Amino acid sequence: MAFPDGAWLSWGLVVDISRDENKCFKVGDGVIKEIRVFSETTNWVRTLYPTESAPTTLVSGMLMHRVLGSDPHADTMEKIKAARPVMGRVLDTATGLGYTAIEAAKSANYVVTVELDPAALELARQNPWSLALFDDPTIEQHIGHVWDVVEEMDDAIFSVIIHDPPTISLGGDLYDGYFYAELCRVLKEGGRLFHYIGDPQSGSIKKLEKGIMERLRDAGFKNVVRKPRAFGVTAYK
């Protein structure tokens, strides 16, 4: 089997790929290689995981987008809709594969996106659906802990913040009230925050959601509203 770029595969390898529905592969010189990276920063294994639309990431056994009854593109669009109008200067607190930053950049003037783990960007570079993350001049990337990056930012510089942290078991400090206060500080008056939490039908998520909403209010946000379709809440400054 030959590809337009000159790469080729034996039919046996094509069959091998078709049998493994939970992996994405890179093809070259007649061989296939699973697209996965190990992070020396977090000690997490990151794998590009196929869906019926764009791939998602599997991080230490956890999927980073909704795939049950949804897909990464639909999941991203629900977050964008919950935060809209997405305009002006936007902060995306967790780059991942870059889908949120890419979609936000279609209507915003400028997007600042922050990623803790360089391995996430290494994986994104191997994902065709993430190309705009590296090609769009209106997207500014930062590598580091978003807590540290935000602390160095000026007050009231963002119109919209999309906060899509990993699960609390992987990134508990990103659910902290002090961090929420920092997000409020860098948000303009009248600006909007969307905070992704998880499936609102889950008992553990309901409990987590209640605490998050209380901490957001304590941090200075107002009109904190559940957005069940987007699996999160919005809040305003």
Inter-CA distances, 99 with 84, 104, 229, Å: 16, 8, 18
E strand or H helix at 77: helix 72-83
Q: Across all residues in the chain, what is the average pLDDT?
A: 90
Residue 146 predicted with pLDDT over 90: yes
Q: Which tens digits make up the pLDDT trace of 103-137? A: 999 999 999 999 999 999 999 999 999 999 999 99
Inter-CA distances, 229 with 40, 74, 80, 161, 197, Å: 35, 11, 11, 18, 11
Preceding amide of 85 cis, omega within 30: yes
Domains assigned to the chain: 1-34 (no CATH), 72-236 (3.40.50.150)
**Is the distance from CB of 116 to CB of 93 less than 8 angstroms?**
no
Q: Report the pLDDT value the prediction gives residue 191, as an integer from 0 to 100.
A: 98
Q: Is 5 strand, coil or helix? A: coil
Q: 14 pLDDT band (50/70/90 cuts)? A: low
Q: 21 pLDDT band (50/70/90 cuts)? A: confident
Q: Which tens digits make up the pLDDT trace of 201-210? A: 888 888 899 9
Q: 10 pLDDT band (50/70/90 cuts)? A: low
Residue 138 predicted with pLDDT over 70: yes
Q: Report the pLDDT value the prediction gives residue 67, as an integer from 0 to 100.
A: 80
β partners of residue 159:
none
Which of 104, 110, 94, 102 has the alpha carbon at shortest distance from 130? 102
Percent of the chain with pLDDT over 70: 90
Q: 177 pLDDT band (50/70/90 cuts)? A: very high
Q: Report the pLDDT value the prediction gives residue 17, as an integer from 0 to 100.
A: 58
Q: CA 196 to CA 100: how far, in whole Å?
A: 12
Q: Report the pLDDT value the prediction gives residue 200, as an integer from 0 to 100.
A: 85
Q: Which tens digits make up the pLDDT trace of 70-81? A: 899 999 999 999
